[in-house]
Amino acid sequence: MMKLDLLPVILSGGAGTRLWPVSREGHPKPFMKLADGQSLLEKTYLRAAKLSTCLRLNDHPQVLTVTNQAYYFLSRDVELKAGINSLFLLEPFARNTAAAIALSAHQAISRYGHDIILLILPADHLIDDFEHFNNAVNKAAQLANDGYLVTFGIKPSAPETGFGYIECGQAMGNGKKVNRFVEKPNLETAKQYLADGNYLWNSGMFCFRASTLLEQLKIWAPKVASNVEMCWAGMYQQAALSTALEIPDIPFETVPNISIDYALMERSDKVVVVDGDFAWNDIGSWAAIRDLAKPDANGNRALGESVFVDSTNTFVQSEDRLVATVGLKDVMVIDTPDALLVVDANRSQDVKSVVAQLKLADHQIVKLHRTVSRPWGTYTILQEGVNFKIKRIEVKPNARLSLQMHHHRSEHWIVVSGKAKVTNGDRTLILSTNESTYIPAGHKHRLENIDSEMLVMIEVQSGSYTGEDDIVRFDDEYGRT
């Protein structure tokens, strides 16, 4: 089998509303950490980097990540932890997978040429059987090199109604021709598909040459192709200079909001499927997270400290405190510091309805956790009330916040550990553990960690308004305004 280099393209988007309250707009599903401490995005990076066909430059695995502009710094932190090099394609807003994949193809061609093979991987899949996954990718790469659009099908283990299906046709090399794609079926139809043996789950993973993808889009989805080309026309000059390309808003909003499945895969006559003979988990609901935990004798599962009394088939996930259940059956309890979800185990798909109601009420709990990630570190809201807010701030080594000012609040900063350089009006201070400073409203100020260890601060805000939008930035190395 010929050795081919391919570029993994990681699609890291989507709010993961069915995994609320852990997944939120400001910290969505790909950044959720599982029981082993790794996030879904990190696991995807590591899996891609281990592929025998993964493109390598100077011995470093190369990938391309498509994500929202707001998640760039979060994604970059995960990239560094995983030990890979990633190009970034940064969307101003979600526009579905056809636009994301087509722009990825343009970016990949500009770097690696027309024959580069792309492997499209969603960031929210869990695949532990790497050997069989690698084998399937090798088969797909060979078919992609022959000019096919390849999708990966997963052999059904149950009559699942939450996935789309692929009906397989005649053999095509190491794959099979796709007769048709089928929408999520009802239970009776899913049972028929399982019994038939000729249907696979549609995994949403793909493999094709970048040039083949763009040629096929021109035939089957010409508006997607032409509008993506307009976007690329305003970006390509920066492609060779920057590893993080921002997609311009105005051309991007004209690209049809359509999935690659509907735009191309269900229309083209060049589509084949490779049987994914590996364990695969689409982490799409709390039921999928629950199934990762080992059950006790009564079918109860827990991630975090818990006590079960007269309970069966109950799942608990808790971050900071013990959760006890008494007399529960088929219930899931998801506990976070600022939100609690209790849901019938058979209705985990309906959690998104909770998020929809919270959005209608413009509730901030949809967007942010109490601990919020920033390019320079994190802050955690410890307590807040009328005219005050208390935060715990952690600043990464050698990182600094923007030079800023607040109209409506003053701030007290106390160093818990580390060494801080503080700009406070016209003064510059060096603060160590147990030292503090007071910043009046209207003063320009900046916080910087000048140590090699994490800087930990307590910030006490006081004023008529303590919202996060009361920030006027004068200088920011992360490009925020």
> What CATH number is given to the structural domain containing 81?
3.90.550.10
How many Å from the N-terminal Cα to the C-terminal Cα in the chain? 52
- pLDDT band, very low/low/confident/very high, at 13 (cuts 50, 70, 90): confident
Give, for 85, the enclosing helix (H) or strand (E): strand 85-91
CA-nearest of 34, 71, 11 to 373 is 71
How many Cβ atoms sit within 10 Å of the Cβ of residue 44?
Answer: 27
Number of domains composing the chain: 3
Count Cβ atoms within 10 A of the Cβ of residue 474 and give its class: 0-12 exposed, 13-18 middle, 19 or more buried.
Answer: exposed
Query: For 217-233, what is each residue's pLDDT tens digit?
Result: 999 999 999 999 999 99
Query: Do residues 186 and 319 both lie within one domain?
Result: no
The answer to the question of residue 364 being in a domain is no
Q: Where are the alpha helices (DSSP H) in 27-171?
A: 40-49, 72-82, 96-112, 130-145
Q: Where are the alpha helices (DSSP H) in 317-424?
A: 351-360
User: Across residues 311-340, what is the average pLDDT?
Assistant: 96
Q: Examine the pLDDT at 253 and tell me if it is beyond 90.
A: yes
Q: What pLDDT does 242 receive?
A: 85
DSSP for 113-136, please give it.
-TTPEEEEEETTEE---HHHHHHH
The answer to the question of residue 1 being in a domain is no
User: Across residues 172-178, what is the average pLDDT?
Assistant: 92
Residue 30 main-chain phi, psi, to 5 deg: -60, -20
Query: Do residues 328 and 436 both lie within one domain?
Result: no
Query: Do residues 50 and 164 both lie within one domain?
Result: yes
Answer for the pair 209, 203: CB distance below 8 angstroms, yes or no: no
Q: Please identify which residue in the block is written with the tokens 């797909």.
A: 140
The answer to the question of residue 15 being in a domain is yes
Query: Do residues 219 and 145 both lie within one domain?
Result: yes
Using CA atoms, how far residue 400 sits from 52, 70, 85, 461, in Å, is 39, 18, 24, 19
Query: Do residues 257 and 351 both lie within one domain?
Result: no
Contacts of 116 (CB under 8 A, 6+ apart): 5, 6, 7, 55, 108, 109, 209, 210
pTM of the model: 0.89
User: Across residues 348-366, what is the average pLDDT?
Assistant: 92
Question: Above pLDDT 90, what percent of the chain?
Answer: 80
Q: What pLDDT does 364 receive?
A: 87
Q: Examine the pLDDT at 56 and tell me if it is beyond 90.
A: no
Q: What pLDDT does 231 receive?
A: 94
Q: What pLDDT does 440 receive?
A: 96
Name the DSSP letter for residue 21: T
Answer for the pair 345, 332: CB distance below 8 angstroms, yes or no: yes
Answer for the pair 126, 228: CB distance below 8 angstroms, yes or no: no
Query: For 267-295, what is each residue's pLDDT tens digit?
Result: 999 999 999 888 898 888 999 999 999 99
Query: For 200-211, what is each residue's pLDDT tens digit?
Result: 999 999 999 999
Q: Examine the pLDDT at 419 and tell me if it is beyond 90.
A: yes
Query: Do residues 38 and 161 both lie within one domain?
Result: yes
In terms of phi and psi (left: phi > 0; alpha: psi -120 to 50; beta: otherwise), the region of 173 is: left
Query: Do residues 273 and 393 both lie within one domain?
Result: no
CA-nearest of 140, 208, 144, 206 to 175 is 140
**Residue at which a domain ends, from 249, 282, 315:** 282
Average pLDDT, the chain: 93
Q: Where are the alpha helices (DSSP H) in 276-350?
A: 286-290
Answer for the pair 274, 268: CB distance below 8 angstroms, yes or no: no
Beta bridge partners of 209: 117
Query: For 81-105, what is each residue's pLDDT tens digit?
Result: 998 999 999 999 999 999 999 999 9
Query: Do residues 110 and 231 both lie within one domain?
Result: yes
**Residue at which a domain ends, from 282, 315, 341:** 282
CA-nearest of 287, 285, 286, 315 to 301 is 315
The answer to the question of residue 259 being in a domain is yes
Query: Do residues 325 and 234 both lie within one domain?
Result: no
The answer to the question of residue 450 being in a domain is yes
**Residue at which a domain ends, from 261, 282, 303:** 282
3-state SS class at 350: helix
The amino acid occupying position 430 is I
Using CA atoms, how far residue 398 sits from 447, 452, 481, in Å, is 11, 7, 21
Q: How many residues does the chain have?
A: 481
Q: What pLDDT does 3 receive?
A: 60
Query: For 113-158, what is each residue's pLDDT tens digit?
Result: 999 999 999 999 999 899 999 999 999 999 999 999 999 999 998 8
Q: Please identify which residue in the block is written with the tokens 């799409």.
A: 284
Query: Do residues 19 and 98 both lie within one domain?
Result: yes
The answer to the question of residue 361 being in a domain is no
Q: Please identify which residue in the block is written with the tokens 């401490």.
A: 37
CA-nearest of 19, 68, 9, 77 to 44 is 9
Question: Above pLDDT 70, what percent of the chain?
Answer: 99
Using CA atoms, how far residue 359 sits from 96, 355, 356, 366, 367, in Å, is 21, 6, 5, 7, 9
**Cα dihedral across residues 111, 115, 120, 126: positive or negative:** negative
Query: Do residues 114 and 260 both lie within one domain?
Result: yes
Q: What pLDDT does 157 receive?
A: 87
How many Cβ atoms sit within 10 Å of the Cβ of residue 42?
Answer: 21
What does the alpha-carbon distance between residue 212 and residue 117 come to, in Å, rounded to a whole number? 9
Query: For 361-377, what is each residue's pLDDT tens digit?
Result: 999 899 888 999 999 99
How does strand 60-68 pair with strand 56-57? Answer: antiparallel
Q: Examine the pLDDT at 7 and tell me if it is beyond 90.
A: yes
Q: Which range of residues forms the domain containing residue 192?
A: 6-282
The answer to the question of residue 320 being in a domain is yes
Answer for the pair 57, 388: CB distance below 8 angstroms, yes or no: no
The amino acid occupying position 438 is Y
> What CATH number is given to the structural domain containing 470?
2.60.120.10
Query: For 329-341, what is each residue's pLDDT tens digit?
Result: 999 999 999 999 9
In terms of phi and psi (left: phi > 0; alpha: psi -120 to 50; beta: otherwise), the region of 83 is: left
Q: Examine the pLDDT at 1 and tell me if it is beyond 60.
A: no
Query: Do residues 162 and 309 both lie within one domain?
Result: no
The answer to the question of residue 12 being in a domain is yes
- pLDDT band, very low/low/confident/very high, at 53 (cuts 50, 70, 90): confident
User: Across residues 349-362, what is the average pLDDT?
Assistant: 93
